[in-house]
Amino acid sequence: MTSNDTAPPAAASGTFTIGGDLTVNRLGFGTMQLTGPGVWGDPADRSAAIAVLRRAVELGVNLIDTADAYGPFVTDALIREALHPYADGVAIATKVGFTRQGPHRWTPVGRPEYLRQQTELNLRHLGVDRIDLLQLHRIDPKVPLEDQIGELAALQSEGKVRHIGLSEVTVDEVVAARAIAPIVSVQNLFNLTSRSASELLDYSAAEGIAFIPWFPLATGALSGEGSPLAKLAAAHGSTPAQLALAWLLHRSPVMLPIPGTSSVVHLEENVDAALIHLSPEEFEALDSLS
């Protein structure tokens, strides 16, 4: 990875073209942490949340990930207030398929009429005519997959959705969904300490599908004082979180991490991870951690 003095730091993460026509810098921003506790309600400091979103775009972040379930609809409203009208090249990815009953409570609902309703609300709350990337937040086991993906495909054919993605899926589920409609991205839990989605990542790389790891900064005990990760970070002059992000970016060219935060300072630290170059030995040292 290379950068120059005039390019924003997120540009150093390189680019990926989602679905063949939506090019973004690989280091994005996830908005879930901009809500209240339990991903419920408004943030404690709305002006700070607005500042984080605006600063993210200033730093070159042009993939903003949200969901109707965040708040619910809190992050959509924040994004619109902070960034609308959206600058050229800024892509908004959102998700549908969950209903919320309170803090920390998530229930998948994949009925076609519900997915359509939430998509229409996303369009309205974000202030757009078309959603760049609409992801099925979870597959609802109570509803045929053909009905769920089919409804997203119908919305796509109507011009309301540019691309379709999935979240928390297996390779078999992606294959089944791709038989119904083009799938351009997957969003699964993946980080230094949680790599159960490695098979899906390898499949995504082989198929040219974007892999968006959620919870990318989880390092757990790996970052404790005196830990191997802490020692590597100290030797590199970086933080453990920055190395965790750098490892993700080096792990695969289809990887699009979306670290979230409610702090401008932490945001700037996260984005600076794009500037980190890992030697093959450093990457292997990180890769060997678990």
Residue-level pLDDT at 225: 80
Tell whether the model's pLDDT for residue 263 goes beyond 90. Answer: yes
Q: Is 29 helix (H, G, I), strand (E, B) or coil?
A: strand
pLDDT of residue 75: 98
Cα 217 to Cα 191, 193, 195, 243, 248: the distances in Å are 7, 9, 13, 9, 10
pLDDT, position 1: 39
- Report the distance separating Cα 88 and Cα 139, nearest Å: 32
Residue 51 has pLDDT above 50, yes or no: yes
Is residue 70 among the annotated active site residues?
yes
Mean pLDDT of 144-150: 98
- For residue 124, pLDDT over 90 is answered with yes
Q: What is the mean pLDDT of residues 50-78?
A: 98
Domains and CATH numbers, the chain: 9-218+252-260 (3.20.20.100)
- Read off the DSSP letter of residue 276: -
pLDDT value, residue 226:
77
Q: Is the pLDDT of residue 135 over 80?
A: yes
List the one residue out of 260, 269, 270 whose CA is nearest residue 65. Answer: 260
- pLDDT band for position 3 (50/70/90)? very low
Q: Is 16 a residue whose pLDDT tops 90?
A: yes
Q: pLDDT tens-digit profile of 208-228?
A: 999 999 998 877 667 778 788
pLDDT tens figures, 181-202: 999 999 999 999 899 999 999 9
Q: Name 131's bridge partners.
A: 161
Of 29, 67, 28, which Cα lies nearest the Cα of 49?
29
Out of 97-101, 115-119, 236-240, pick the least confident: 236-240
* CA distances for 86 relative to 62, 131, 244, 254, angstroms: 10, 12, 30, 25
Distances from the Cα of 214 to the Cαs of 4, 167, 202, in angstroms?
Answer: 29, 9, 17
pLDDT reading at 5 higher than 70: no
Q: Which run of H or of E encompasses 25?
A: strand 22-25
Are the C-beta atoms of residues 185 and 211 closer than 8 Å to each other?
A: yes
pTM attached to this predicted model: 0.95
191 three-state secondary structure? coil
